[in-house]
Amino acid sequence: MAFEGLADRLQGTLQKIRGKGKVSESDVKEMMREVRLALLEADVNFKVVKDFIKKVSERAVGQEVMKSLTPGQQVIKVVQEELTNLMGGEQSQIAVAKRPPTVIMMVGLQGAGKTTTTGKLANLLRKKYNRNPLLVAADIYRPAAIKQLETLGKQLSMPVFSLGDQVSPVKIAEEAIKKAKEDHLDYVIIDTAGRLHIDEKLMDELKEIKALANPDEIFLVVDAMTGQDAVNVAQSFNEQLGITGVVLTKLDGDTRGGAALSIRAVTEKPIKFAGMGEKLDALEPFHPERMASRILGMGDVLSLIEKAQATVDEEKAKELEKKMRDMSFTLDDFLEQLGQVRKMGPINELIKMIPGANRIKGMDNLQVDEKQITHVEAIIQSMTKAEKVQPEIINAGRKKRIAKGSGTSVQEVNRLLKQFEEMKKMMKQMTNFQQKGKKRGFKF
Ligand code: GDP
């Protein structure tokens, strides 16, 4: 997973301070030294790290922390908030033109994932907002690019506008916008040409398209795996062309995360979407706060819930959300959730969204060994109703009975109970941290 090394290091460091009733300046200094190293190792821009450490240090030794009842926790909260700020604070929105169509220009280097992202974005716009996009093949230099977009259009049953590779991209953009107006399509997504490196010719062409198409958004697509290079590319594109947002692709890979943490600070442009795989539905709106929580091992309950809502019965998902918030989540719910999770897709991705999951022993095994889930299910199924709601009553005798009934061992029963207890604790922490975001406008 992306951020794995960084997450491990940060969580290890923060763990030391978590329960502290008193935090001294030297504690903070010591901790910041480790956080600094962790960020640098994750390939975060040097200057960004420096500013980040300065901000966190100032706040961590300030009144708000030192005077609080739980200074250790407060320091972690400060780190979480500043990580969120680093990645852009509030989740950003996507433009809607006053008079349709809204024009989006996709730009970026070859191989970053531009064409794929064009398809994914169109898919998201239609699925989530009922919009009708027109895909525009304006990359006339890579012959396969036009075909690739046409194939994506077919898969999505969406119109693709192309004039072949003998007409200038500027003209293609112009004609495409005309066509979208005629056909009452509300989004035009232009897939422009990429190059292996930034060159003047490419920029000139993009500037020409920009001048003519007057886009509402210019999304730069960058590959998160390329780390600092992605940041440099973003800076260049922004200086020369002016971008409105960034789409970070391949966050499903094991990138160290430096790009995600530096791009916003360096370019002052928000990361709007994250590419999480090659499939057409693998594009997610980028939520700085949720990402910060994930990095710090607080899980990402909200994304989990959204995934659940997309796959699972909506009523049930709402019920689950409420239970997670008011802490009435029982082993029965856990069991049901396991069943749903199995339906939802790659378990190792989902597990990471559960608060504290990465710190619970045995959960790692769950990631690779589906058999263990079967054991967990059997254990819960062998419990009585009362036991599932109130696991505290499960004494030694009951444990033996449950182990026997489920064909497992008392150790396994113990492990599950401990995991569940820790999970509930983390949910509580998570709920306390979560600030209620206000909904407004056309948000993803
Ligand atoms: P372009 O040259 O920028 O148009 O790049 P493409 O859209 O052709 O993508 C290059 C490669 O990256 C393709 O094999 C895509 O399937 C892959 N790709 C794009 N986005 C993602 C992503 O978010 N995750 C992963 N794993 N692969 C991606």
pLDDT in the model for residue 402: 95
Residue 442, class by beta-carbon neighbours within 10 Å (0-12 exposed, 13-18 middle, 19+ buried)? Answer: exposed
Q: Is the CB of 151 under 6 A from ligand 1?
A: no
- The reply, when asked if residue 59 is annotated as ligand binding, is no
Atom 19 of ligand 1, residue of closest alpha carbon: 113
- Contact indicator for 160, 149 with CB cutoff of 8 Å: yes
- The reply, when asked if residue 194 is annotated as ligand binding, is yes
The rounded Å distance from CA 275 to ligand 1 centre is: 9
CATH topology of domain 102-286: Rossmann fold (3.40.50)
Q: Is the CB of 194 under 6 A from ligand 1?
A: yes
Beta-carbon neighbour count of residue 369 at 10 Å? Answer: 13
E strand map for 150-201? 160-161, 187-191
The rounded Å distance from CA 51 to ligand 1 centre is: 32
Q: Is the CB of 252 under 6 A from ligand 1?
A: yes
Q: Is the CB of 113 under 6 A from ligand 1?
A: yes
pLDDT in the model for residue 308: 61
Q: Is the CB of 107 under 6 A from ligand 1?
A: no
Tokens of 327: 């802490």
Handedness of CA 393, 398, 404, 409 (dihedral sign): positive
Distance (Å, rounded) from C-alpha 417 to C-alpha 331? 9
The rounded Å distance from CA 167 to ligand 1 centre is: 26
φ/ψ of 80, rounded to 5, equals -65, -45
The rounded Å distance from CA 78 to ligand 1 centre is: 35
- The reply, when asked if residue 193 is annotated as ligand binding, is yes
The rounded Å distance from CA 223 to ligand 1 centre is: 8
Handedness of CA 358, 348, 303, 330 (dihedral sign): negative
Testing ligand 1's pocket by substitution, the residue of 114, 121, 151, 278 carrying the most ligand atoms inside 8 A of its CB is 278
Q: What is the CA radius of gyration of the chain?
A: 24
Which atom of ligand 1 sits closest to the CA of residue 120? 20
- The reply, when asked if residue 110 is annotated as ligand binding, is yes
The rounded Å distance from CA 328 to ligand 1 centre is: 42
The rounded Å distance from CA 244 to ligand 1 centre is: 21
What residues does each domain of the chain span? 2-90, 102-286, 315-439
The rounded Å distance from CA 195 to ligand 1 centre is: 14
The CATH H-level superfamily of 2-90 is SRP54, nucleotide-binding domain (1.20.120.140)
Q: What is the chain's pLDDT, residue by residue, as a tens digit (444 residues)?
A: 678 888 888 888 888 877 777 788 888 898 899 999 999 999 999 999 999 999 999 998 887 777 776 777 788 888 888 999 999 877 778 889 988 999 999 999 999 999 999 999 999 999 988 999 999 999 998 879 999 999 999 999 999 999 999 999 999 999 999 999 999 999 999 999 988 888 899 899 999 999 999 999 999 999 999 988 999 999 999 999 999 999 999 998 888 888 889 999 999 999 999 999 999 999 999 999 888 887 887 766 666 666 666 666 667 767 777 777 777 888 888 888 777 766 666 666 666 666 666 666 555 555 446 677 788 889 999 999 999 989 999 999 999 999 999 999 999 999 999 988 888 887 777 666 553 433 333 444
> Of 367, 325, 370, whose CA–CA distance to 350 is shortest?
367
- The reply, when asked if residue 117 is annotated as ligand binding, is no
Beta-carbon neighbour count of residue 262 at 10 Å? Answer: 29
Q: If one looks up domain 315-439 in CATH, what number appears?
A: 1.10.260.30
Q: Is the CB of 108 under 6 A from ligand 1?
A: yes
Atom 20 of ligand 1, residue of closest alpha carbon: 113
Q: Is the CB of 119 under 6 A from ligand 1?
A: no
- Which residues, 6 or more positions from 440, have their beta carbon under 8 angstroms from its beta carbon? none
Question: Alpha carbon of 227 to those of 142, 234, 248, 261: distances in Å?
Answer: 25, 11, 11, 10
- The reply, when asked if residue 183 is annotated as ligand binding, is no
Q: Where are the alpha helices (DSSP H) in 87-168?
A: 114-129, 143-156
